[in-house]
Amino acid sequence: MSTAAEQQFEFKTEIKELLHLIVHTLYTHKEIFLRELLSNASDALSKVQFEALTNDNLYDKDQPLEIKVTLDEENKTLTVEDTGIGMSRDELIKHIGTIAHSGTKRFIKELKENQEKAANPELIGQFGVGFYSVFMVADKVTIDTKSFDAETPAIKWESDGLGSYTILESERRKRGTAITLHLKEEENEFVQKFRVESLIKQYSNFLPFPVLIGEDTINTPEALWRKSKSEIKEEEYKEFYKTATNAWDEPMFWEHFTADAPVQFTSVLYVPKSAPYEYYNQDLEHGLKLYVKRVFIQDDCKELVPKFMRFLKGVVESEDLPLNVSRETIQSNAVIQKINKIITKKFLDALTKMAEKEEEKYLEFWKQFGRYIKEGVHGEFNLREKLLPLLRFHSTKQTENPVVTLKSYAEHKVTDQKAIYYAVGESLDQLRRSPHLEFFTRNDIEVLLVTEPMDDLILNSLEPFEELKFINVESGDLELPEELKKEIEEPEVPETMTQLKDKVREVLQDKITNVRFSKALTDSPCRFYNEQGGMSHNVRRMMFAGPSAMAAAPLKRDLELNPEHQFVKALSGRLETESINDQIKLLYHMASLLEGSVDDAQELASLVLPLLR
Ligand X SMILES: Nc1ncnc2c1ncn2[C@@H]1O[C@H](COP(=O)(O)OP(=O)(O)OP(=O)(O)O)[C@@H](O)[C@H]1O
85 binds ligand X (CB under 6 A): yes
82 binds ligand X (CB under 6 A): yes
- Applying CB under 6 A, which of residues 19, 65, 78, 96 lies at the interface with ligand X? 96
Residue 126 annotated as lining a ligand binding site: yes
DSSP symbols for 447-481: EEEE-SHHHHHHHHHPPPBTTBEEEETTBS-----
177 binds ligand X (CB under 6 A): yes
44 binds ligand X (CB under 6 A): yes
Rounded Cα gap, residues 565 and 66, in angstroms: 80
Cα–Cα distances (Å) from 61 to 46, 57, 86, 172, 604, in that order, read 14, 8, 13, 16, 77
Phi and psi torsions of 227, nearest 5°: -75, 160
155 binds ligand X (CB under 6 A): no
Rounded Cα gap, residues 453 and 544, in angstroms: 13
Of 497, 508, 515, 492, nearest to 573 by C-alpha is 497
- Applying CB under 6 A, which of residues 24, 61, 95, 226 lies at the interface with ligand X? 95
Give the nearer residue to ligand X in terms of CB position, either 241 or 409. Answer: 241
Give the nearer residue to ligand X in terms of CB position, either 92 or 269. Answer: 92
Rounded Cα gap, residues 154 and 146, in angstroms: 4
Rounded Cα gap, residues 562 and 547, in angstroms: 31
Q: What is the DSSP letter of 55?
A: -
CB 179 within 8 A of CB 141: yes
Q: CB of 330: closest distance to ligand X in angstroms?
A: 20
Contacts of 44 (CB under 8 A, 6+ apart): 82, 84, 85, 86, 176, 177
- Applying CB under 6 A, which of residues 11, 33, 59, 131 lies at the interface with ligand X? 131
59 binds ligand X (CB under 6 A): no
Q: CB of 67: closest distance to ligand X in angstroms?
A: 9
- Applying CB under 6 A, which of residues 21, 35, 84, 207 lies at the interface with ligand X? 84
The interface region with ligand X, picked from 4-12, 40-48, 362-370, 425-433 by CB under 6 A, is 40-48
Q: CB of 101: closest distance to ligand X in angstroms?
A: 6
| Strand pairing report for 526-529 and 138-146 | unpaired
Q: What is the DSSP letter of 437?
A: G
Q: CB of 85: closest distance to ligand X in angstroms?
A: 5
The CB-side HSE value for 213 (13 A sphere, CA atoms) comes to 17
- Applying CB under 6 A, which of residues 22, 87, 211, 504 lies at the interface with ligand X? 87
Maximal CA-CA distance, the chain: 100
- Applying CB under 6 A, which of residues 97, 128, 376, 563 lies at the interface with ligand X? 128
Q: Torsion-angle region of residue 335: left (phi > 0), alpha (psi -120 to 50) or beta? A: alpha
Residue 130 annotated as lining a ligand binding site: yes
Q: CB of 84: closest distance to ligand X in angstroms?
A: 5
Residue in the shown chain whose Cβ atom is closest to ligand X = 130
Q: Residue 606 carries which side chain, given as an amino acid letter? A: S
Cα–Cα distances (Å) from 585 to 353, 510, 526, 599, 605, in that order, read 54, 11, 12, 11, 12
Give the nearer residue to ligand X in terms of CB position, either 48 or 305. Answer: 48
130 binds ligand X (CB under 6 A): yes
Site for ligand X in 392-451 (CB under 6 A): none
Q: Torsion-angle region of residue 145: left (phi > 0), alpha (psi -120 to 50) or beta? A: beta
307 binds ligand X (CB under 6 A): no
What is the size of the binding site for ligand X (CB under 6 A)? 15
What is the x/- site pattern for ligand X, positions 199-218, by CB under 6 A?
A: --------------------
245 binds ligand X (CB under 6 A): no
Q: Torsion-angle region of residue 504: left (phi > 0), alpha (psi -120 to 50) or beta? A: alpha
Residue 127 annotated as lining a ligand binding site: yes
The interface region with ligand X, picked from 84-92, 195-203, 315-323, 560-568 by CB under 6 A, is 84-92
Residue 249 annotated as lining a ligand binding site: no
Give the nearer residue to ligand X in terms of CB position, either 41 or 419. Answer: 41
Give the nearer residue to ligand X in terms of CB position, either 289 or 394. Answer: 289
The interface region with ligand X, picked from 34-42, 226-234, 414-422, 435-443 by CB under 6 A, is 34-42
Give the nearer residue to ligand X in terms of CB position, either 98 or 188. Answer: 98
Residue 131 annotated as lining a ligand binding site: yes
CB 136 within 8 A of CB 34: no
Binding-site annotation, residues for ATP: 36, 40, 82, 87, 102-103, 126-131, 177, 327
Binding-site annotation, residues: 36, 40, 82, 87, 102-103, 126-131, 177, 327
User: Which residues in this chain contact ligand X in the complex, by CB under 6 A?
Assistant: 36, 40-41, 44, 82, 84-85, 87, 95-96, 101, 128, 130-131, 177
